[in-house]
């Protein structure tokens, strides 16, 4: 009898402890086409959670801020499955992620929006996301839309003196969308698109596609994930001498591209990505924290991942409850002005202000995180080239 009572008490305490945690879902693409890009983003999410818990946790009771992770694989079907489990089994308060646009759109339409759960993506940048939620106010992101990045890349191409270019894009929501923005902006600005073709991911060879595209221009705008076709296309292009210049965006910005293609072969390759104003107070505070933890402060979407996690924690604290229905309004309140400025890592300060009835305004690692009516943020973009065996970027817009 005593054993049964003791066992029952232990189980009861375990259940109570689990229920006391504030649980946030984090479907990240830890496998799939871009695992090297995602790994430091995961580190940034965990850093934010550590900062929250080290500074008193959630609410007056100090409840633990817990990350429930799942692998969305940068795949729409996998993302729906992952988020379904997070929402219905783990009973998360909100979603931080997914990473890829197709995965974000699929899970939001099928799972998180119907369930009334806020999604705050760390890097999904497709323009399609802007208008997808139909006024539900449940989809946000800490990365700027490719509606802006595509234009910035087109302007960069013309500034480099590239007057004509062929376009190849992977047939998915992210790459197709940014390719469309780029092609339109480039043509509107006076450039000539000589060929514009979709390619299917994960083929063993793209020599036929490269030959067709290369017949019309020496320049290629490549929109692909490096791990599902991008590297192969570049290798085939270099092997055949089809192109002399390569441009592209985030999906190709990985060290693996340099390792497999060779730095000596990438002298005329430039890829853009979202970046931070490294002179801003938010980035300065973030960099000190990231450097101390061995996390690449300026890595693609790494500061955005920290911001998304920290913002969700601030929003839940502002709401005073893990009630899903309160998060969207609270998220806008802590992200947008006015309010006392909160920098990365300043959870205790924010908690004190909110407890006293004050307002806060988060100044993010990736820059201002003021959400517009569609849950979008403004942002900066960088042009990245190979320097000393690694990608090196400079702000272009």
Task: List the 139-141 sheet strands across, edge first.
Answer: 65-71, 22-28, 95-96, 119-121, 139-141
* pLDDT > 90? residue 385: yes
β-pair partners for 28:
71
pLDDT tens across 345-381, in order?
A: 999 999 999 999 999 999 999 999 999 999 999 988 9
Where is average pLDDT lowest: 4-8, 122-126, 324-328, 345-349? 4-8
Where is average pLDDT lowest: 4-8, 141-145, 305-309? 4-8
pLDDT tier at 4, thresholds 50, 70, 90: very low
- Report how far residue 316's alpha carbon sits from residue 67's, in angstroms, rounded to the nearest whole number: 14
In the chain the domains, ranked by start, together with CATH numbers, are 2-145+279-368 (3.40.50.2300), 147-275+380-395 (3.40.50.2300)
Specify the pLDDT at position 312: 98
* pLDDT > 70? residue 8: no
Q: Between helices 281-293 and 35-54, what is the axis angle to 10°?
A: 100
Contact 44, 283 (CB under 8 A): no
Q: What is the pTM of this model?
A: 0.90
pLDDT tens across 16-30, in order?
A: 344 469 999 999 999
HEC secondary structure over 122-173: CCCCCHHHCCCCCCCCCEEECCCCHHHHHHHHHHHHHHCCCCEEEEEEECCH
Where is average pLDDT lowest: 133-147, 153-167, 268-282, 341-355? 133-147
pLDDT tier at 302, thresholds 50, 70, 90: very high
Specify the pLDDT at position 64: 98
Specify the pLDDT at position 134: 64
Residue range 147-151: mean pLDDT, rounded: 94
* pLDDT > 60? residue 386: yes
The per-residue pLDDT of the chain, averaged, comes to 93
Specify the pLDDT at position 30: 97
CB neighbours of residue 46 within 10 Å? 18
Q: How many helices (H) and strands (E) does the chain have?
A: 14, 15
pLDDT tier at 266, thresholds 50, 70, 90: very high
Residue range 228-247: mean pLDDT, rounded: 96
Contact 99, 56 (CB under 8 A): no
Distance of CA 180 to the CA centre of its chain: 20
What percent of the chain lies above the pLDDT cut of 90?
91
Specify the pLDDT at position 56: 97
Residue range 147-167: mean pLDDT, rounded: 97
- 3-class secondary structure, 29: coil
Which residue, 375, 342, 249, is CA-closest to 300?
Answer: 249
pLDDT tens across 190-210, in order?
A: 999 999 999 999 999 999 999
* pLDDT > 90? residue 283: yes
* pLDDT > 60? residue 13: no
pLDDT tier at 133, thresholds 50, 70, 90: low
**DSSP category for residue 26:** E
pLDDT tier at 132, thresholds 50, 70, 90: confident
Specify the pLDDT at position 198: 97
C-alpha count within 13 angstroms, C-beta hemisphere, residue 210: 21
Contact 315, 327 (CB under 8 A): yes
What percent of the chain lies above the pLDDT cut of 70?
94
Specify the pLDDT at position 303: 97
Specify the pLDDT at position 136: 86
Specify the pLDDT at position 3: 41
What six digits make up the tokens of 308?
Answer: 């998304």
């Amino acid at each position: 009898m005593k054993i049964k009572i003791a066992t029952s008490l232990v189980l009861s305490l375990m259940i109570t402890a689990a229920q006391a945690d504030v649980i946030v879902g984090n479907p990240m693409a830890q496998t799939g086409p871009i695992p090297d890009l995602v790994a430091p983003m995961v580190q940034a999410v965990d850093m934010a959670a550590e900062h929250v818990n080290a500074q008193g946790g959630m609410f007056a009771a100090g409840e633990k801020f817990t990350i429930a992770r799942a692998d969305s694989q940068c795949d729409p079907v996998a993302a729906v499955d992952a988020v379904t489990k997070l929402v219905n089994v783990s009973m998360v308060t909100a979603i931080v992620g997914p990473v890829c646009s197709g995965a974000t759109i699929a899970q939001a339409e099928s799972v998180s929006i119907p369930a009334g759960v806020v999604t705050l993506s760390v890097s999904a940048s497709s323009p399609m996301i802007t208008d997808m939620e139909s006024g539900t106010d449940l989809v946000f992101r800490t990365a700027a839309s490719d509606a802006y990045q595509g234009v910035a890349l087109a302007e960069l191409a013309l500034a480099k003196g590239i007057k004509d270019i062929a376009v190849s894009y992977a047939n998915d929501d992210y790459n197709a969308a940014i390719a469309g923005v780029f092609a339109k902006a480039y043509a509107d600005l006076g450039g000539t698109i000589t060929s514009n073709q979709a390619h299917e991911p994960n083929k063993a060879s793209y020599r036929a596609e490269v030959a067709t595209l290369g017949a019309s221009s020496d320049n290629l705008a490549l929109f692909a994930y490096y791990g599902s076709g991008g590297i192969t296309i570049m290798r085939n292009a270099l092997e055949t001498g089809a192109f002399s210049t390569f441009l592209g965006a985030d999906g190709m910005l990985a060290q693996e591209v340099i390792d497999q293609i060779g730095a000596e072969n990438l002298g005329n390759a430039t890829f853009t990505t979202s970046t931070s104003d490294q002179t801003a107070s938010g980035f300065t505070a973030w960099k000190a924290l990231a450097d101390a933890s061995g996390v690449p402060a300026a890595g693609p979407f790494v500061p955005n991942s920290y911001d998304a996690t920290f913002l969700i924690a601030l929003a839940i604290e502002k709401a005073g409850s893990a009630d899903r229905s309160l998060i969207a309004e609270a998220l806008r309140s802590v992200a947008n002005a006015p309010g006392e400025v909160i920098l990365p890592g300043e959870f205790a300060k924010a908690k004190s202000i909110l407890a006293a009835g004050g307002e806060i305004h988060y100044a993010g690692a990736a820059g201002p995180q003021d959400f517009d009516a569609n849950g979008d943020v403004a942002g900066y973009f960088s042009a990245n080239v190979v320097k000393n065996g690694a990608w090196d970027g400079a702000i272009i817009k």
